[in-house]
Structure 1
């Protein structure tokens, strides 16, 4: 059940009217706001943080993510931030290196790694230029309900005043710890998979001569590490060692990051001569999930509704993509509650169905264990088979499906190769094959149950008496 909304200590100082309130001004929120504002709707965007500002993010943009920026009309401005174009993908596992170009998406055949302060600044400016009213340092405290419909929000502005905005649609683009999700009772996922990895990253001042056109990933033992050249002459290096529950405290992130880098010889060599810039950032206790993401008058794009472990770097693309699609789905029906709710449910189903494959693929890579025999056989084959390498890179770029790697003929060849390579330990290959069969069956069942796209309805919200506004409704957001 959604939480009861408590009485506010402070009276409401003003009531405003908008078509849409977007909570969160980063990737999903800005994509939604830009698209709706350009369509002529009155959009207010609220964000608790100052803008622009940094946020926890690995911020690699595959070609599909850059294509979304182009659709929003901001790719040129993002490129002006001077992050290098990454034209090659390199993955190394068990000593086998796979290199391939990126598949083109709408003519874009390169990736970029852009720090979030610059990227989010570009997106916020685009929302303002489109006509949205973007308000930083404004913290949403509760949802306004009307006859079991979400009808707006209340927030505290930077001066401490309590403001109410009534709107036909509230978009919760406020991340994994979403206030909107909690307020509508959707904060508990209907499907969740804990990650087997923790995540730590830091920036390094790159040295002359390092390959600044390559996005690289290494697997060594149970550890995973990356090096992504980014803007300002930096390289983002992320490590994902196996998760260690309950380990935190001063210096823990620094220690685990440094130890993981040292355990990955190729990553340590890539960073040799580079100077660390700033502190180590950490994300631990990670879980991938799907939350119920649409209901009467509300929707949850971005991480508020669906999150995948950062091991596949899908978050920004999906936030931009499904934020834009949400806006396109509702723009013609904002004033028709029944049609609006149908469109929201169709949008929610679409995201679930389209993200199932990459969700399972991400959870596979997030298991936090050493490479198994069949995975080693795949790397060994892809190192000499350009088509396999292209499929692998295409999965991350969302132009190919994981099933293309595991056709019956390819799967059989991988088993034969693994047995040939592991003659002294055939049992390990057979156990790995059994695990793959069980995992495939479990994913098939999940797709036809929890991820079939027909999510169960939420219970009606619990409502309590609310304080009466002390001032008449403002027209601040009527027209532009």
Structure 2
């Protein structure tokens, strides 16, 4: 045996949201867990970091919520959606964990809180450590090779290797499963910056506005800031890259209600942009390995589901695998069951997200939905609960109401209605 070889019950590659969640659940099952990450925490990463109530519930389930709330991120009990001068506001239905508010916490604070919660649970977190290869026992993955700050190449053996290392997963690449079996190319870019936010009357509201094919959001977060995210059509990406801050400010001006929201606010960070983030499912389990979080499944950021799913299905992976790590056959069955559970739970919201990510103006049925919600506030909460994942998209609207809205959209005069009917035919 190599002198630098070590043994654990599980090796988790990546210690951010999905990695910490998996490691916490495994440690709670009494397992020795080593989590490896290239970063030194606290550490930033590209993210729009909004959690609806369902995501906050996952923080509570992991035991991390108290730490996260030690930041000064305000609770967000209200969600606002607006389009074409129609404005809808609603709260959340209380989740099974008793949560009825959202949070938007910048990633240095959020990830550091998760890492500290993992350490408290007994996880050994090794920072500034790079995975360079996989170890195998026949067809099974049986560990990793990794190099830390001392430059020593170590063999870390374990019955389970978890690749929780994001969209460009090293583990997925080493396994040869980085090509997705289901994918959709994104149609919206993400361009965002933080603003100083003295608007106390807005500090409890997560807001989204649509104006023609433009989409803008404002999410109050820690540090007295508000995250202002624009999601223009991806074809506008080159113009943004040519003059990032100037085009960003012009993008804000394209959404008058967002511009009004930002009165008295000033930019407090550089502007960041991402234009290539296709949605996908990858094969996510096999003999001795699993891929939670963005390593295995990713949705367009337009519905802000990534962190919630990373936390939930990281935790569920640990709960599935923890009791059976000593039995390879049972472990493989547990990993397959976990992957099926995630796909069944995520497929409908994935498809719904892809519809919202098309970067088109409101179609006539969507316009009728906004009109109906503005007339009937009780309809808005089920739509907010879709984002919170306490309700499926297919359960948010009664079938009879959806049919009436479609009929009204077709009958409403004007070229928009006729164009929308043609597109839907």
TM-score calculated relative to the size of structure 2? 0.96
What residue number does 2:310 align with? 319
Query: Which one is further off, 269-278 or 16-25?
Result: 269-278
Q: Which residue of 2 aligns with 1:270?
A: 261
> Post-superposition shift, 1:159?
2.1
CA deviation string 1:12-65 (max 9, x = no partner)? 761111110000000100011111112211110000111120111111111111
Residue 104 of structure 1: aligned partner: 94
Cα offset, 1:433, TM superposition: 3.4
Deviations 1:103-159 (A, max 9, x none): 211211110111111111111011111111100100111111110110100111112
Give the deviation of 1:249 after TM superposition: 8.8
- What do the CA deviations read for 1:177-220 (whole angstroms, capped 9, x no partner)? 00001111110000000111000111000024441111100000
1:90 to 59, 80, 87: 80
Q: How many residues align?
A: 423
Q: Distance in 1 between matches of 2:90 and 2:417?
A: 31
TM superposition shift of 1:424: 5.6
1:384 counterpart residue number: 375
| 1:287 equivalent in structure 2 | 278
| Cα distance in 2 between the residues matched to 1:264 and 1:366 | 18
Specify the SS of the correspondent of 1:165: strand
1:361 corresponds in structure 2 to 352
- Aligned counterparts of 1:292 and 1:319: Cα–Cα separation in 2: 16
Residue 145 in 1 paired to residue 136 in 2? yes
1:29 alignment counterpart: 19
The Cα shift of 1:88 comes to 0.7
Cα distance change of structure 1 residues 432 and 94 upon mapping to structure 2, 3 Å threshold: farther
**Could you say which residue in structure 2 is the equivalent of 1:81?**
71
More helix by share: 2
Q: Give the stretch that moved more between structures: 399-408 or 79-88.
A: 399-408
Residue of structure 2 equivalent to 1:240: 231
- Alpha carbons of structure 1 residues 42 and 75: separation in structure 2 relative to 1, 3 Å: same
**Which residue of structure 1 aligns with residue 112 of structure 2?**
121
Whole-Å Cα distance in 2 between the matches of residues 423 and 200 of structure 1? 33
1:475 corresponding residue in structure 2:
none
Tell me how far apart the structure 1 counterparts of residues 286 and 65 of structure 2 sit (CA, whole Å). Answer: 32
- Cα distance, 1:421–1:77 mapped onto 2, change above 3 Å: same
Q: Is the 8 A contact 1:59 1:113 kept in 2?
A: yes
- Whether contact under 8 Å (1:13, 1:162) holds in the other structure is no
CA RMSD, aligned part only?
A: 1.6
Partner of 2:401: 410
Going from structure 1 to structure 2, the CA distance change for 1:218 and 1:51 (only over 3 Å counts) comes to: same
SS in structure 2 of the partner of residue 279 of structure 1: coil
Rounded to whole Å, the distance in 1 between the matches of 2:17 and 2:223 is 21
Equivalent pair of 2:191/2:271 in contact (CA under 8 Å): yes
How far off its partner does 1:252 sit? 4.2
Q: Does the aligned pair in 1 maintain the 2:17–2:307 contact within 8 Å? A: yes
Q: Relative to structure 1, is the Cα distance of residues 30 and 183 closer, same or farther in structure 2, using a 3 angstrom cutoff?
A: same
Q: What residue is the counterpart of 2:147 in the other structure?
A: 156
Measured after TM superposition, the shift of residue 259 of structure 1 is 2.4
**2:234 aligned counterpart, secondary structure:** coil
Listed one character per residue, the Cα deviations across residues 430-479 of structure 1 (whole Å, up to 9, x for unaligned) are: 21432xxxxxxxxxxxxxxxxxxxxxxxxxxxxxxxxxxxxxxxxxxxxx
Deviation at 1:283, TM superposition (A): 1.4
- Extract structure 1 runs of 4+ deviating beyond 4 A: 248-252, 423-426
Q: Which runs of 5+ in 2 are unaligned?
A: none
SS at match of 1:352: helix
From 231, 244, 248, the equivalent of 2:222 is 231
CA contact (8 A) 2:363 2:416 kept: no
The whole-number CA distance in structure 2 between the counterparts of 1:164 and 1:424 is: 65
In structure 2, the residue matched to 1:398 is: 389
Q: Secondary structure at the match of 1:207?
A: coil
By relative contact order (CA 8 Å, sep 6+), the higher-ranking structure is 1
Q: Who wins on radius of gyration, i.e. which is larger?
A: 1
Indicate yes or no: 2:187 matched with 1:172: no
Match of 1:42 in 2: 32
Q: Deviation at 1:298?
A: 0.3
Report the secondary structure of 2:202's partner residue: coil
Q: Distance in 2 between matches of 1:156 and 1:324?
A: 27
Identify the residue that residue 172 of structure 2 maps to in structure 1. Answer: 181
1:425 is displaced (CA, Å) by 5.7
Q: Aligned residue for 1:338?
A: 329
Aligned equivalents of 2:33, 2:345: Cα separation in 1? 28
Q: How has the CA–CA distance of structure 1 residues 13 and 179 changed in structure 2, closer, same or farther, with 3 Å as cutoff?
A: farther
User: Unpaired segments of 5 or more residues in structure 1?
Assistant: 1-11, 435-480
Deviates more, 1:142-151 or 1:408-417: 408-417
